[in-house]
Structure 1
Amino acid sequence: MIDTVIFDFDGTLANTNKMIINSFKHIYTEFLQKNCSEEYIMSTFGEPLELTLTRDFEAFSFEDVIACYRDYQKDRFNEEVTLYETVEDTLNYLKGKSIKLGIATSRLRSSTVSALETFNIAKYFDVVVSADDVTKHKPDKEPLVKAINELGSTTESTLYVGDSRFDMECALNALVTPILVGWQLNSNDLAQKYKIKHVLEKMWDLTNLIQ
């Protein structure tokens, strides 16, 4: 019996694609004086930002790069980021069914909490595990296992909802049932590669898996 649902944030609960892509393009131009393809940027979705920036901008100060990235996003969040269709209705329904809800994300805690509060959905979640809270990041199982333990749940009773290969691998590594959202360009490829049984057309479809 499923009594716990844990979510990724970016690309799963909220459409942050436009803002992230534009932010990466900005810092590539500022520091490397070159363009960066959207395909490459999207391939890093789900990876901790620090890891991506440290790798791609190794010749520069990480503090300078991350500051530029964050400065670009100032005042753009409310304009460029939205919740996906039926997300809040689904969270409200699950909470009403006494389902334990959590977040396991590669975002930093401060930005995750700020985003949840901006959309007024922080009230639905019993635990938030962010990049700050773990030593090993997705696709390692640590973020998901930490969230499950803090919720007092079990892997057998938990669903993990995500949009990237990092999410699917994290769920499989933790022996948790992976749920793939179907609104990203590579969703079909991911579903086939990881043999994902449940692919959501909209978040409300998740309610059909909770009996």
Structure 2
Amino acid sequence: MRYQAVLFDFDGTLFDTEHDEMTALSALVTQATGVEPPKDKLLKTFGMTGPDGIRFLGCNEEQAAWVKPRWHEASLNALKTTPVFEGLTEVIEILHRNGVRLGIVTSRGVSGVDMGLTSRGLTAYFDTIVSQKDTVLHKPHPDPLIECLKRMDITPQDAIYIGDSPGDMQASEAAGMASGLALWGTHQPDLPCTYRLAHPRDILTICEVEE
């Protein structure tokens, strides 16, 4: 089966943001609340919107208002140097060269995505970015994926969504799309999905793209 479009999650799928994001968030939440969040709870915020993640870690509204802008600033600064997962840049170039259209669907703000793509020279490869501001409901709801497909004029059957979290896989299923679990970024390799991707080059195989 050849897919006409490949949609990517951003954090933990395209960019290896986990360490920088979680370190900054943990320090800020600890400052705001006086309680250091446990690592397993921190990891569950990956895939949430920023405000949802901050509240999930126990911040009240006043604390969240203090944490949010500081975390946003730390995240943007980190994305100037955050690496793309090994092998993905080449795969993106090959997909684009072979006419496979590319999009990004993420729960983070668009400024961080723009910073990451620009810093790595990847902006021109992607047709569109659906970010936190673009839909009322977020993953695991299908709305962000449906919005991306609508913008690209692609049917769900002709696209695959690559992600690393339960919300990514659930959103794909709800949108009627195939899902690819990025084993290079996930902490839950047994999540239900259409494909388990051990290496970014596996994307080329399922899209039937020649290198």
TM-score by length of 2: 0.91
Distance 1:155 1:59, change over 3 A: closer
Residue 90 of structure 2 corresponds to 89
Amino acid in the other structure paired with 2:30: T
Unaligned runs of 5+ in 1: none
Deviations 1:76-123, CA, capped at 9 Å, x for gaps: 3345x2110111100000001111110000010111112111111111
Offset, 1:20: 1.2
After the TM superposition, which residues 97-176 of structure 1 pair with which residues of structure 2 at under 5 Å, given as runs? Answer: 97-176=98-177
Greater mean deviation of Cα atoms: 53-62 or 93-102: 53-62
Contact 2:183 2:197 in 1 (8 A): yes
Q: Given the alignment of the two structures, is residue 8 of structure 1 paired with residue 9 of structure 2, yes or no?
A: yes
Contact 1:4 1:158 in 2 (8 A): yes
Amino acid in the other structure paired with 2:194: K
Distance 1:42 1:158, change over 3 A: same
Q: Given the alignment of the two structures, is residue 205 of structure 1 paired with residue 202 of structure 2, yes or no?
A: yes
Greater mean deviation of Cα atoms: 119-128 or 109-118: 109-118
Distance 1:85 1:141, change over 3 A: same
Contact 1:7 1:102 in 2 (8 A): yes
Amino acid in the other structure paired with 1:199: R
Residue 48 of structure 2 corresponds to 47
Contact 2:29 2:54 in 1 (8 A): no
Residue 65 of structure 2 corresponds to 63
- Equivalenced residue count is 206
CA distance in 1 between partners of 2:194 and 2:141 (Å)? 21
Residue 178 of structure 2 corresponds to 177
Distance 1:155 1:73, change over 3 A: closer
CA distance in 1 between partners of 2:156 and 2:77 (Å)? 39
Unaligned runs of 5+ in 2: none
Contact 2:130 2:147 in 1 (8 A): yes
CA distance in 2 between partners of 1:40 and 1:54 (Å)? 12
After the TM superposition, which residues 7-26 of structure 1 pair with which residues of structure 2 at under 5 Å, given as runs? Answer: 7-26=8-27
Contact 1:11 1:163 in 2 (8 A): yes
Distance 1:185 1:177, change over 3 A: closer
CA distance in 2 between partners of 1:73 and 1:149 (Å)? 29
TM-score by length of 1: 0.91
Contact 2:13 2:185 in 1 (8 A): no
Deviations 1:21-44, CA, capped at 9 Å, x for gaps: 101211122111121122111112
Residue 39 of structure 2 corresponds to 38
Amino acid in the other structure paired with 2:170: E
CA distance in 2 between partners of 1:140 and 1:59 (Å)? 24
